[in-house]
Amino acid sequence: MVRYLDLPTRTRGVTVEDDNGFFNIYINSKLSVEMQKEALEHELRHIQRNDFATDVSLLAAELS
């Protein structure tokens, strides 16, 4: 599930794992379309690499 939200300006994206083990990605809608695409790919890479299983701190917001 990907949502585009008005996040704080310095935040590019956030990925949150819900109680069912699904990942919800939030991308800052203030970014340009190109930056949104990059931020989304960045978040998807974390999920593919299973980064969140090894480092819970990665669940923190991605700052630009």
**C-alpha span between 23 and 57 (Å, rounded):** 15
- Among the residue ranges 1-9, 14-22, 30-38, 54-62, the one whose residues contact Zn ion (CB under 5 A): 54-62
Q: Give the Cα separation of 2 and 17 in Å (integer).
A: 12
Q: What is the C-alpha to C-alpha distance for residues 15 and 9, in angstroms, rounded to an integer?
A: 16
Give least dist CB 5 to Zn ion, A. Answer: 17
User: How many residues of this chain bind Zn ion (CB under 5 A)?
Assistant: 1
* Stretch near Zn ion under the rule CB under 5 A, chosen from 3-11, 14-22, 28-36, 56-64: 56-64
Structure-block tokens of residue 59? 């669940």
Task: Please give the residue ranges that form the binding site for Zn ion (CB under 5 A).
Answer: 62
